[in-house]
Structure 1
Amino acid sequence: MNGCGYQGKILWIDLSNSLTKHIEPDKNFYRTYLGGPGLGLYYLLKFLPQNCEPLGPENILVFAPGFLTGTPVPCVPRYTVCAKSPLTGGLGKSEAGGYWGPELRKAGYDALVVVGRAAGPVYLWIADDKVEIRDASRIWGLDTGEAEAFIRQDTGVKDAKIAIIGPGGENKVLFAGIVNDLSHFNGRNGLGAVMGSKNLKAIAVCGSKKVPIHERDKIQQLSRWVSQNYREHPLSSALHEYGTPAGVESNNAGGCLPTNNWSLGVFSGANDIGGKELTEKYLVERGGCYACPIRCKRIVKVDDAEFKVDRIYGGPEYETLVALGSNCGINNLKLIIKANELCNRYTIDTISTGMAISFAMACYEQGIITKEDTGGLELKFGNEEILLSLIEQIAYRQGFGKILADGTRAVAARIGRGAEAMLLEVKGQEIPMHDPRVKTGLGLQFALAPNGADHWFAQHDPFFTSEGSLGLEALAPLGILEPIPALDLGPQKVRMVFYTSVLNSMYDCLGVCMFGAVARSLIPLNNFVDFVQATTGWETSLWELLKTGERVNTMARLFNIRQGLGCKDDTLPATFFKPIVSGPLDGKNALDKEAFEQAVKLYYGMAGWDETGIPTAGKLLELGLDQFVDNQN
C-alpha cells in the first residue's frame, strides 16, 4: 500500500532469469531511509555479497529517486544510482538531475533494483505497470543519441525518459557514467560500466501516475515563492545567468585553477574557456531539470565544419571546462565543447577522462612514458590534436586509451617508474577541479567521502568565512554561527564539514539539487521540513530529516568497511601538502599534513566512529541500524 509521499513499490528485476517482482515496504521503511542513497544502501547492505566482483553478475545496481522527486517541490529532480564501484572497489554512488527520476516515480515506483546479467544486450521498458525486458542487440555499440532515437521509435513513445549508456559503458571503462536525456549525468564511480557488465543498454520509462501528496496546495504555494524569488538571490541568480562555467575565471583570478595536471594554479588561457566566452559565443539556451525555475544548465551549439556540436548533448559544466581544458593546457573552447559532446555520446565521466589525459601528459613531459608507450601520440600539455582521438580510444578501449580506461591509479601501478607521483585521486577516484589548499574543508570532503574524491560531500568553505555571509545566515539552524577562515583546520572547520555532510546526505535522500538549496542557493532549511510535512502529512522536524542523512552516511561507511576500505584510504594526494605554484598564491597554502590527519580523526569522533573509522555499536544503535551491529566487518 502506498501512502502520501511514496508509491509503496520497489521494482526488482533479475536479468539472469528475466524475472520481475514488486517489493512493498511499509511506512516506517520510508520514514527511516526516505529515498535516493538511503534506499540504495539498504539494498546493497542487505543483499550484496561482501567480496563480489564489481563487474560480475552478483553486483546490485539500484536506481532510487529522492523521496520528494516527482512531486511539484521545486529544485528536487534528482535520483541516485548505487552499486559496488569498479573504480574504487567501495561504494559507487552518483546523483543526476533531469527528468528520468521523476518519471520512474510517476510510473509507480520508488526505486528500481537490477540484479544478475542478461544473456545478451537488453533494455528495460517501464510504462506504469507494464515492465518488459527487450532485445537491444540492434543498438549495442551505438552512441547515446542514436540509441535513444531507436528506443523512442521502438516503444512508440516520443517523450519517454531514457537512462542510457554508450560505448564507454558497454566497454566497461571504469569511469563510465549513465546519462538521461543525453545531458544529465550520473557521472562518477563507473556505474555505467556496471550497467554495461549486465548487458543493460538503457532503461526507458513512461509514467502516468502522480506521487500521492497530502497538501498539494501548500507545496504549490511554496513553489511559487521560489519561482518569484530565485532571481533576487545572488547565488541562484548567478547560476541562472552564467551557470557553473563562471568558476573558471574566478578560480583563475584567485590563483587556484587546476592547470597542467595541477602543477600550476594559473592558466594564461582561462578567459578563452570561461563562462563569459561560452555564454557570448555558444550558448543557445539555458536548460534545466524537472520542477526547477533556476535553469542553470548550459545548452550550446557549434556550427563550424571542424567542431560541429549538436545542442541535444547540452553543454560543458565548470568541471569539464577545467578537466579537459586548463588541466590539459588546452584553451580552445570549441574543441573542449566537442570533447564534452563525445564524452556524453560515449558516456565517460569528463572529470576522470580529463584527469586521465592530464596524468598521461604529466608522465610524458617527465619522460616516464614515451611515444612508444602511447602509440605515437605526443602527450604534451596544450597539444590539441590528441584530445578527441584519445577520448575515442578510451571509450572503445583502443590503443593507449585501453590503458587509461582503467583509471589513473591502475595506470600508475602498471607504468611504475615514478608515475605514482603524478597521481591525484582518493580511493581510486580522480580529484574534482577544486583546490583544497584554498578551502581546507574541501580536502576533508575529498578524503572522507565514501565514494572517493567528491566535491559535494559537504558544503564549501567560502560560504562561512565572514559575518553576514550567506552560509552563516542560511545554516544558523544547524548551530554554525561564527565565521570560519577558509584555511582553518581546527575543530570548528571539522564541525562545519560534519554537520554539512549530514545535511548534503539529507538533500540526496530527498532528491534536492545543491543548486536550489542553502547554502549554495536560496531555499531555506525549514522549507524542506514544510515540503515533507505537506507531502506526507507526517509531523516531522529538521532533526528527524538530518538524522536520516547521518544514518545514510554511517551506512556508507559500513559498506566500505565490508569491502576492505578504511582509515588508510581517508587521505589526500601528496600534491596538496606542497605549496601552490604560480600566480598570486605562488609558494603558499600547502596543507599541514599532521593537522589534516588530526582533523580526519576528529571527524571520526564527531560521527561516532572509533579511531580507525569504524562506527561504534552505540552509534549504530542510536541511528536504528541494529541489524548491522554484529556484521560491520
Structure 2
Amino acid sequence: MKQMNGYIGRIFTIDLSSGEKDIIDLDDQMIRKYLGGRGFASHWLYENLPANVPPLSEKNLLIFASGPCNGTIVPSSSRGSIGAKSPLTSILGSGNTGSSFSVQLKRAGFDMLVISGKAQRPVCLVIEDGDATAVPCEDLWGKTVSEATGKLRTRFGYRNVSIGCIGPAGERMVPISTVIFDKFRGAGRGGLGAVMGSKNLKALVVKGSKGINAAHPDRLKKEVLRFIQILEEEPYYERYSKAGTAVIAEPMNKMGSALVKNGTLGFFEDIEGVNEKALKQHLFVRQKACFSCPMPCTQQYGVTEGPYKGTYGEGSSGASVVMGFGPRCGVSDMRAIAKAHTLSNELGLDLISTNAVLAFGMECFEKGLINTSSTGGVRLEFGNAEAQLEMIEDIAFREGFGRVLGEGTKRASDTIGGHSERFAPQVKGMDMMEVEPRGMPSWGLMFAVSSRGADHVRAYDVCQMMSFSDEALIRIAGTIEVREMFGPKGKGRSVAFFENVRAVADAMEICRFVTRGKLGFPEHLVGMLNYVTGLAFTAEEMYSIGERIVNVERLFNLREGMKASDDTLPHRYLSESLPDGAAKGKRVPLKEMLEEYYMARDWDMASGYPKPQKLDLLGLSADRVRRNLD
C-alpha cells in the first residue's frame, strides 16, 4: 500500500454469512472520478451490486464511506456516507451522518467498509487496527439506541471510539428505520437501519489510532482560517449558531413554505408555540457543534417541566423536528415535540419519515378513511401529541396500525385506499420533509428529481433564501428571475447546479449547513482539498465530479426500474391550491421546471436517461452503461 495524503488507501469488505474478509487497495482513478464519501458509495453500489437484488436480502451491500477531509482540520469535515439499496424505495439508499464515525474509520485503517451477507445471530462489527471482527451481541438485541450504545461504550471505551447502532425499529426491519451514530446522530433517509437489521448487525464499533496526513499542513491551516473568516461573515452563521434551523420556523410560516397539517393549510396559527422563543422558553437548550465544526447549530436539549419532564436529547431541534412533529402534525407544544424527537431516536426511526407518516395518518383519520378500530383505539387526530407518541412506538415495534405506517406513506396509502395516494407526501416511495412545495416550488422540483426520492439535501437550493449577487445567479441559474419565489424560470438550472456542488461536498464529507451559500462553490473548497491530498484538482474538475456522482446515481435508479415519469409530485401539489397563507392559490409549476432541469442535465425527456454525449463527457462509457442497464 502506497503512502497517501487525505486517504488511507484501503477498502475493507466482509461477508457476514461466510466470514470472508478482504482488503482492496483504493484505486487512483476512483479518487479522481468520485473523490470519496458519497461518491465512493454510489459508484461502488453501481459497479458491484447486481440489478434487482431484494433490499433486505443477504446480497444487498451496506457501505460506510469516508471522505478525504475526515480527520483533518478542514471545517465541518465530520460527515460520513452510507449506501445500500433502499428497502423503502427499492432504488438508491443513501444516508449521511455528522459524528466522528468516518474519522475513526480512517484512523482504524480504512476509507470504506463494504458489508454483505447475514450473520447467523446478532453481532456487532468491531473495526480496529486494520481488521474487523464480528462479535456476538445477543444481549444487545432489543435494546434502545442509548442502552446499546452505553453498554458498548462500557465494553470498548470512550476515547477514539465511535458507534453506529440500530434500535428496535431496525431490528424489525421497519422500512423507515435508520442508523444512529454516537447515540444521537442519525444517518437519515431510506430505511438503512432495516438493511443493518436484515444482516443481524446491531452495531458497528470503530476504534482508531492511526494518524491522517495532510500533504501541505501549513498551507491548509491558512486556507482553513480564510474559509472560517468568510463563514463567520455569512448572515446564517450567527442565526444558526443561536438556535440551529429552529430560527426558520416563523419565517417559513410567513412565506407559506411550512407544510401545515399534511398540506391541508398554508399557515399555522399556533406558530408561537414552536418558534425560537418557545424553544428556549420550554426547553433547556445548549448549542453544540458537531465534531470538527466551527458552527454550533445543533442542540443538547432537556424538558424541565410538564408531563415530559426529564426528556433529554441531542441533535438539531430545527425544521425537520420542530416543523415536522409540530405544524405538520398540528402540534404546538415544544415539550411534546422534544419527546417525539427523543423517542424516535431511541427506537432508531428516521425523523422525517416518521413525522410524515404521522401527519398522513392524521389526515386519513380526519377524512374518515381510518378510525379507532383501524388504529387500535388511538385517536390519531391533528394536534394530539399523545397519539403521536403512541404511534411512534407502534411503528418501531410493528404493532397495531404502526405496521401500516411504518411502511412509509406510499405503501400505507396503498393499504388505506380511498384515493389517499393523492395526498400521501412521497416521491418514488420516499417521504417528503416538512417544506410545502407550493410555497417553495424549487424545493418541489428537488423532491421530484432527487436520486433517493423526495429529498431536500441532495440539492438544497437556496436561491430564494440567500442574497446572491446578480452575477452569481446568472452563473447558477442563467437568469436573475430565479429569485422570484413562485415562478419557474431558472429553477431547473439552479437545482441541477446545486445538486452538483452538494455532491462534491458530500464526497469531501463537509456539512451542508456550513457550505449552504457561496462557500459550497468549488472555488472555495478546492484549495483545502488540494492541500489535504496533494493532488492538483481544479474547481472545474470538482464540479464535474459532482455531476458524475449525480449521473451514476441516476443510472443506478434507472437500472432498478425507475422511469422518467417517476420524476413527479403527488396530485395535491400539482392540482390543489393552498387555501390560505402567503402561497394561497398556488400550485407547483413542475412541468416547466422539469423541462429546464432535463435540458440542464442533458437527459432525455422521454426515457429519463443521460444522453450518450453527456456520458462520454463525464467519462462514463455508453457501452459500459448499456451493459449495466441490460
TM-score by length of 2: 0.95
Structure 1 residues 293 and 201: alpha-carbon distance in aligned structure 2, compared to 1, 3 A threshold:
same
RMSD of the TM alignment (CA)? 2.0
Contact 1:464 1:483 in 2 (8 A): no
Pairing of 1:380-391 with structure 2 (within 5 A): 380-391=381-392
CA separation in 2, counterparts of 1:178 and 1:472?
41
Say whether residues 1:414 and 2:423 are aligned partners: no
Q: Deviations over 1:451-479 (max 9, x none)?
A: 001112224254478xxx23756677668
CA separation in 2, counterparts of 1:503 and 1:475?
15
| Aligned partner letter, 2:544 | K
Report the alpha carbon displacement of residue 440 of structure 1 after superposing the two structures with TM: 1.9
CA separation in 2, counterparts of 1:620 and 1:362?
44
| Aligned partner letter, 2:240 | L
- Partner-residue secondary structure (3-state), 2:261: coil
Q: Deviations over 1:3-39 (max 9, x none)?
A: 2221100111111112222110232221111111211
Structure 1 residues 32 and 2: alpha-carbon distance in aligned structure 2, compared to 1, 3 A threshold:
farther
- Partner-residue secondary structure (3-state), 1:243: helix
Structure 1 residues 422 and 591: alpha-carbon distance in aligned structure 2, compared to 1, 3 A threshold:
closer
Which of 467, 470, 474 is matched with 2:468 structurally?
470
Say whether residues 1:622 and 2:617 are aligned partners: yes
Q: Deviations over 1:246-293 (max 9, x none)?
A: 121111122332111110111122111122221344243212222211
Say whether residues 1:559 and 2:556 are aligned partners: yes
Contact 1:117 1:197 in 2 (8 A): yes
Which of 496, 504, 507 is matched with 1:506 structurally?
504
Contact 1:244 1:275 in 2 (8 A): no
CA separation in 1, counterparts of 2:227 and 2:33?
28
- 5+ residue gaps, structure 2: none
Structure 1 residues 483 and 421: alpha-carbon distance in aligned structure 2, compared to 1, 3 A threshold:
closer
Report the alpha carbon displacement of residue 547 of structure 1 after superposing the two structures with TM: 0.7
Report the alpha carbon displacement of residue 312 of structure 1 after superposing the two structures with TM: 4.7
Match of 1:131 in 2: 132
Report the alpha carbon displacement of residue 241 of structure 1 after superposing the two structures with TM: 1.2
Contact 1:259 1:326 in 2 (8 A): yes
Contact 1:75 1:292 in 2 (8 A): yes
Match of 2:485 in 1: 486
- Partner-residue secondary structure (3-state), 2:263: coil
- Partner-residue secondary structure (3-state), 1:455: coil
- Partner-residue secondary structure (3-state), 1:204: strand
- Partner-residue secondary structure (3-state), 2:303: coil
Report the alpha carbon displacement of residue 157 of structure 1 after superposing the two structures with TM: 4.4
CA separation in 2, counterparts of 1:385 and 1:378?
9
Contact 1:103 1:205 in 2 (8 A): yes
CA separation in 2, counterparts of 1:383 and 1:478?
43
Say whether residues 1:527 and 2:528 are aligned partners: no
Match of 1:610 in 2: 604
Match of 1:585 in 2: 583
Contact 1:319 1:432 in 2 (8 A): yes
Say whether residues 1:540 and 2:537 are aligned partners: yes
Q: 45-54 or 333-342, which moves further after superposition?
A: 45-54
CA separation in 2, counterparts of 1:200 and 1:132?
12
- Partner-residue secondary structure (3-state), 1:154: helix
Match of 1:373 in 2: 374
Q: 622-631 or 289-298, which moves further after superposition?
A: 622-631
Contact 2:477 2:494 in 1 (8 A): no
Contact 2:127 2:133 in 1 (8 A): yes
Match of 1:359 in 2: 360
Match of 1:600 in 2: 594
Report the alpha carbon displacement of residue 317 of structure 1 after superposing the two structures with TM: 2.5
Which of 494, 506, 510 is matched with 1:496 structurally?
494
CA separation in 1, counterparts of 2:495 and 2:188?
23
Structure 1 residues 584 and 560: alpha-carbon distance in aligned structure 2, compared to 1, 3 A threshold:
closer
CA separation in 1, counterparts of 2:20 and 2:252?
51
CA separation in 2, counterparts of 1:35 and 1:12?
16
Structure 1 residues 45 and 230: alpha-carbon distance in aligned structure 2, compared to 1, 3 A threshold:
closer
CA separation in 1, counterparts of 2:579 and 2:117?
49
Match of 1:169 in 2: 170
Contact 2:34 2:545 in 1 (8 A): yes
Contact 1:309 1:341 in 2 (8 A): no
Match of 1:22 in 2: 23
Contact 1:57 1:117 in 2 (8 A): yes
CA separation in 2, counterparts of 1:315 and 1:237?
16
Say whether residues 1:215 and 2:216 are aligned partners: yes
- Partner-residue secondary structure (3-state), 1:412: helix
CA separation in 2, counterparts of 1:393 and 1:142?
16
- Partner-residue secondary structure (3-state), 1:118: coil
| Aligned partner letter, 2:488 | L
Q: 336-345 or 285-294, which moves further after superposition?
A: 285-294
- Partner-residue secondary structure (3-state), 1:532: helix
Report the alpha carbon displacement of residue 176 of structure 1 after superposing the two structures with TM: 0.6
Report the alpha carbon displacement of residue 362 of structure 1 after superposing the two structures with TM: 0.7
CA separation in 2, counterparts of 1:631 and 1:372?
48
Contact 2:63 2:83 in 1 (8 A): yes
Pairing of 1:80-99 with structure 2 (within 5 A): 80-99=81-100
| Aligned partner letter, 2:580 | S
Contact 2:55 2:86 in 1 (8 A): yes
| Aligned partner letter, 1:559 | F
CA separation in 1, counterparts of 2:533 and 2:13?
25
Report the alpha carbon displacement of residue 518 of structure 1 after superposing the two structures with TM: 4.3
Match of 2:8 in 1: 7
CA separation in 2, counterparts of 1:408 and 1:478?
34
| Aligned partner letter, 2:511 | C
Pairing of 1:91-490 with structure 2 (within 5 A): 91-228=92-229, 230-304=231-305, 306-314=307-315, 316-463=317-464, 469-470=467-468, 482-484=480-482, 485-490=484-489
CA separation in 1, counterparts of 2:3 and 2:476?
32
Q: Deviations over 1:187-218 (max 9, x none)?
A: 21111111111111111111112222110112
Structure 1 residues 598 and 229: alpha-carbon distance in aligned structure 2, compared to 1, 3 A threshold:
closer
Structure 1 residues 584 and 442: alpha-carbon distance in aligned structure 2, compared to 1, 3 A threshold:
closer
Contact 1:243 1:275 in 2 (8 A): no
CA separation in 1, counterparts of 2:14 and 2:141?
20
CA separation in 1, counterparts of 2:327 and 2:479?
37
CA separation in 2, counterparts of 1:204 and 1:475?
44
Report the alpha carbon displacement of residue 228 of structure 1 after superposing the two structures with TM: 4.6
CA separation in 2, counterparts of 1:232 and 1:340?
32
Structure 1 residues 258 and 478: alpha-carbon distance in aligned structure 2, compared to 1, 3 A threshold:
closer
CA separation in 1, counterparts of 2:314 and 2:243?
18
Report the alpha carbon displacement of residue 169 of structure 1 after superposing the two structures with TM: 0.7
Report the alpha carbon displacement of residue 229 of structure 1 after superposing the two structures with TM: 5.1
- Partner-residue secondary structure (3-state), 1:393: helix
| Aligned partner letter, 2:11 | I
- Partner-residue secondary structure (3-state), 1:173: coil
Report the alpha carbon displacement of residue 616 of structure 1 after superposing the two structures with TM: 2.4
Structure 1 residues 583 and 29: alpha-carbon distance in aligned structure 2, compared to 1, 3 A threshold:
closer
CA separation in 2, counterparts of 1:477 and 1:255?
28
CA separation in 1, counterparts of 2:509 and 2:526?
14
Say whether residues 1:58 and 2:59 are aligned partners: yes
